[in-house]
Chains A and B, each alone.
Chain A
Amino acid sequence: MDLTLALARWVHLLAGVMWLGLLYYFNFVQVPALQAAAADGTAAGIVRHVAPRALFYFRWSSVVTWLAGAVLLGNQFVPAFALAKGMAAIGVGAWLGTIMLFNVWVLIWPNQRKVLGLVSATDEEKNHSRRVALLVSRINLTLSIPMLFFMGGGWSHRALFGL
């Protein structure tokens, strides 16, 4: 059991780094780069070759992160999500991570499929999808800040949470 938890924590961290790394890549690098590339007509390469690969690892690393986190919580899964006594910190982090996972699969990915032309859409639909995907990606950037604060707590946060 201890080995399972150790492996789950390892996988949770590895996948989480990939997920948030790509989230920050989208927000800090790709979106501004696409705006600049659109101005000089060089956006096609990013849209065709970079974005689909980044989105593939982005959305699947989110699933692996969540599942490994669920294994890590084990029988504390329900108490954490119920914000039970002593579980409020990790519980808030778990809720934020779950909302972020929902945003990836229900809002970002379906809209990005239209933007990237993986499903047919009119130009108007693409523009709408581009805006929704951008705003939800920004929301996930916002949520990642408290999520990491609460999830990454541990003993370093004992002064804050009285652990």
Chain B
Amino acid sequence: MAVRNPLESIRGAIIAGVILTAVLYVIAARLLS
């Protein structure tokens, strides 16, 4: 069975967006400190 790209679902895209926000925040916060 083929693996489905999680971004194909809206839920997957939103979850990925929230996770990406957290990751970028950690990076940006380090740059700001």
Contacts and interface: CB of A to CB of B under 8 A. Distances in A.
Interface of A: 27-28, 83, 85-86, 88-89, 92, 134-135, 138-139, 141-146, 149-150, 160-162
A105 B14 CA distance: 22
A3 to B, nearest CB: 30
A160 B25 contact: yes
Contacts, number: 61
B28 A142 contact: no
29 contacts: A27-B13, A83-B28, A86-B32, A88-B28, A88-B32, A89-B28, A89-B32, A92-B24, A92-B27, A134-B8, A135-B7, A135-B8, A138-B10, A142-B13, A142-B14, A142-B20, A143-B17, A144-B17, A145-B14, A145-B17, A146-B17, A146-B24, A146-B25, A149-B21, A150-B24, A160-B29, A161-B28, A161-B29, A162-B33
Provide the main secondary structure of the chain A interface.
helix
Contacts of B17: 141-146
Contact of A27 (B10, B25, B31, B33): B10
Chain B residues touching A, majority SS: helix
B10 A141 contact: yes
Given A145-B14, A160-B25, A161-B32, 20 more contacts: A28-B10, A83-B28, A86-B32, A134-B8, A135-B5, A138-B7, A138-B8, A141-B10, A141-B13, A141-B17, A142-B7, A142-B14, A142-B17, A145-B17, A145-B21, A149-B25, A150-B24, A161-B29, A162-B32, A162-B33
A88 B8 contact: no
Contact of B20 (A27, A28, A135, A146): A146
- Which of A85, A139, A149, A150 is packed against the most chain B CB atoms within 10 Å? A149
Contacts of B2: none
